[in-house]
Structure 1
Amino acid sequence: MMYRWPIMILLLGFIFVIHCAHAPQISEPIAISAEDEFRRGKASLDQGDWERAAVCFNRALKANPNYSEAYAELAYILALRNHPEKAIDYVNCAVRKNERSAASQIMKGRIFIMIQPALWFENAQHALNRAIELDPSNQEALYYQAEAYLQHQNLPESAAALKQLVERQGAYAEAASARLDYVEAKIKASPRSEVGDKLVDLKVITRADLAALLVAELGLHHLINRRNPNAYNQTTRQKLSNAPVLHIRDIAGHWAEDYIQEIVELQVMDIFPDHSFHPQETVSRVQMAMTLQQAVISISGDLSLDTAYIGKSTSFVDLKPTHYAFNAVCLMDEKGIMQGNPLTGEFDLNSPINGIDALISIRALERIFNSNR
């Protein structure tokens, strides 16, 4: 597959030059429907099959060289494949083909948000405002306008746009509500402990940071005892009290030593075979999902959650069913504890977790288990 992509990029570039330069077209019978091919392309894109989607969109253009939305979707694929200049060329061509296409204007806004070249915010807002002018009730345009504000750190404006979507109770209400939680969390930045205050603004967190947040912010030990009292019954407590303290060889004197010791004893985070914890190791999103899955199981006492999603499907384009954390990621998504990237449809498995995201996930987990006291 890796050898086919350069050929496909060349093919896309060739089609771009042919169509946007208004080169003469050779008349020949067209046996395919542009709309049908476009729908097939959208379906393939939803399934994460970018290559098949590109083939379908190109067929749509063969049937209708002025199909603005097909250019827009090809631009999106190019952006996903990290070809920013070609993506911008294609989406600009889409708009030129039909300046009154709200869908193409929205895609232009999305692509500028994704790529963020010079003056990206101004270009994104111009395109999204144009989409709203063309279709004042278009919720997708308003959603990505809120996303542009968020990425540009205009948090109050982002929150205002998201609140409009929530109030409309339309197709984007649920997604807007989840995103609004994120924006308001960044605005308020209201951790409940000194540890949270210390870590909330970190761009990446470590294993030590995560251990401290789970213990201090979530009150994990008390939450487990309240929701799953059998987890630490009298016999278990007696054994723990008589057992020697587990020696973790690389945390002595660390500021989070006590938190690490507790999280390991609660069996929510593990030590390595050499009895080290690696406190300074950065936590990725997939590692966060695995840890929070274990927290959910410990709090609920439901061991079946460890395999509940095996064999099921997922909408995340970067998550294969064979991935070791497939169940954990699906559990986080289903419970609303962790969110994927709304622009790309990816979970961003290997991206690091920052302090804000960690606290948002902890608050989401807390809400689940505090909703029915």
Structure 2
Amino acid sequence: MKLFHYRYTLFVIFAFISLILTIGGCAPKQRAPVSTLDTPEHHVFTGMKLLETGKLSDAEREFNLGKELDHKYAPAYRGLGLVFAYKGEFKPAFKNMSKAKKLAKSKDEEARVYIGYMRLYTQQRDKDWLDDVVDNFRKANKILKKIHKDWPDPYFYMGLAYKESYKFSDAAEQFKKVLEINTTLVDKADYELKLVQKIERAMPGTPIGKKVALLEKVKRVDVAALFIQEMKLDKIYEKFRPKKFDTSFKSPGQRSSAYQMPVPVDVVDHPLRADVQTVVALKIKGLNAFPDGTFAPNEFITRASYAMMIADVISTISNDPSLDTKYIGSVSPFADVRNDVPYFNAIMVCTTRGIIEAERGLRQNIFNPMGSVSGADALLIIRRVKEDLKIF
């Protein structure tokens, strides 16, 4: 009996040792560095630079290389969390950020994790996301205050969060703080500050206006929505455009169809179909439906095409058809706009009234007619039209 217990005990011990060895064998092994710069720190540094330029796959590779060298290196997991967030994969994003928090070995690393959480919540924008960003902003700054450091990062990403939630004044204050600290993120903060200040000057008053304000480039459908929802151009035209009456006889069926707005074939199922229908019926130059019955809602607007639309709106509201030809034959003040191109007169109407600003070249004025139009610029131009024509 004693022999049996002895053998059983030995069996249990050997089984336990085998299990430990098996588990240890299955666990990922840390990779040995192959060069001087093959370090977790260097890979994370490179990964963050790649992340900020939108090269997500390359950034992910760098963070994984750093993790292979040190399985407990918190910044590598923080970087992976950010990569997954920008990919829209939030479950692994928060999982990696949580691991980074557990592995943080210093107050610096812990503060950077909270800043990472700020970026995750801003990307996700789930329920109460802004409250979560503010909470992590406070946690990051509380740690930084304890270790007597003043980083610009929490303020910059708090500013981005406020901007995305349309709190433009609050965003401006955060970007100003980054400029006051004046260490890193200065150029980015300066750009963002100018953007939110421009949006504030444009004063978007509708949800669609605030949403479009954040776009880097606007499309035809965006302008249609701005003209109808933000500017209420259909209501303005009813007041200022001379009414035309058709007194010819029509049957009841013809009468009902005569007042229906055309529906371009490529916006039938579009969320902004009603705005496109209305704007097409207004017959604004440059924003008409095309001969094939399409509207091309996703086509980007150029500065020249937007000038044509705005000039036509000015001519219509002011009831001054002479504006349509006022500058034809004039000398062009712009090095990149000839006076014989179709949009020259429109550009002159808009720039001479201060509604669209020219750009400065090295030695001469340019207009950049084929350049894109940002949402903030589109709104600010609409604001200037309303002020110029005194329509509010």
Q: TM-score, structure 2 length as denominator?
A: 0.49
Q: 1: distance between equivalents of 2:210 and 2:278?
A: 18
Instruction: State the partner residue of 1:33.
Output: 39
1:164 aligns with 2:164: no
Kept in 1: contact 2:280–2:288 (CA 8 A): no
Any stretches of 5+ residues in structure 2 without a counterpart? 1-25, 213-218, 234-260, 264-276, 309-331, 339-367, 385-392
Alpha-carbon distance, 1:84 to partner? 0.9
Task: Mark the structure with the bigger radius of gyration.
Answer: 2
Three-state SS of the structure 1 residue aligned to 2:302 is: helix
1:90 aligns with 2:96: yes
Q: 2: distance between equivalents of 1:110 and 1:24?
A: 31
Alpha-carbon distance, 1:149 to partner? 3.0
Aligned-residue Cα RMSD (Å) equals 4.5
Q: How does 1:356-367 map to 2 (within 5 A)?
A: 358-360=378-380
1:71 aligns with 2:69: no
Q: 1: distance between equivalents of 2:137 and 2:152?
A: 11
Kindly provide the CA deviation profile for residues 179-233 of structure 1, in whole angstroms up to 9, marking residues without a partner as x: 3355456656547xxxx9898468795554567899x8xxxxxxxxxxxxxxxxx
Alpha-carbon distance, 1:63 to partner? 0.8
Q: 2: distance between equivalents of 1:43 and 1:68?
A: 17
- For 1:138, which of 141, 151, 158 is the aligned residue? 151
Instruction: State the partner residue of 2:251.
Output: none
Q: 2: distance between equivalents of 1:148 and 1:189?
A: 20
How many residue pairs match? The answer is 248
- For 2:123, which of 114, 122, 137 is the aligned residue? 114
**Structure 1 residues 42, 331: closer, same or farther in 2, change over 3 A?**
farther
Q: How does 1:230-309 map to 2 (within 5 A)?
A: 250=262, 256=279, 260-261=283-284, 263-264=285-286, 272-274=290-292, 276=293, 278=295, 283-284=297-298, 287-288=299-300, 290-292=301-303, 294-295=305-306, 300=334, 302=336
Kept in 1: contact 2:150–2:181 (CA 8 A): no
Kindly provide the CA deviation profile for residues 94-145 of structure 1, in whole angstroms up to 9, marking residues without a partner as x: 1221162133321111011111234433332232223333444211210111
Any stretches of 5+ residues in structure 1 without a counterpart? 1-22, 217-248, 305-327, 339-352, 365-373
Kindly provide the CA deviation profile for residues 292-348 of structure 1, in whole angstroms up to 9, marking residues without a partner as x: 3645899946169xxxxxxxxxxxxxxxxxxxxxxx9x944xxxx53xxxxxxxxxx
Kindly provide the CA deviation profile for residues 64-100 of structure 1, in whole angstroms up to 9, marking residues without a partner as x: 2222221111111111222111111111211221162
Q: TM-score, structure 1 length as denominator?
A: 0.51
Q: 2: distance between equivalents of 1:126 and 1:202?
A: 25
- For 1:49, which of 55, 61, 74 is the aligned residue? 55
Q: 2: distance between equivalents of 1:277 and 1:186?
A: 31
**Structure 1 residues 199, 119: closer, same or farther in 2, change over 3 A?**
closer
Kept in 1: contact 2:78–2:97 (CA 8 A): yes
Kept in 2: contact 1:132–1:142 (CA 8 A): no
Matching residue's letter, 1:49 = K
Instruction: State the partner residue of 1:12.
Output: none
**Structure 1 residues 300, 133: closer, same or farther in 2, change over 3 A?**
farther
Kept in 2: contact 1:145–1:161 (CA 8 A): yes
**Structure 1 residues 210, 36: closer, same or farther in 2, change over 3 A?**
same
Percent identity over the alignment is 18
Matching residue's letter, 2:302 = T
Q: Which stretch has the larger CA shift, 294-303 or 126-135? A: 294-303
Three-state SS of the structure 2 residue aligned to 1:138 is: coil
Matching residue's letter, 2:100 = A
Kept in 2: contact 1:34–1:64 (CA 8 A): yes
Kept in 1: contact 2:63–2:79 (CA 8 A): yes
Kept in 2: contact 1:189–1:200 (CA 8 A): no
Q: 2: distance between equivalents of 1:104 and 1:202?
A: 29
1:180 aligns with 2:198: no
Q: 2: distance between equivalents of 1:201 and 1:187?
A: 10
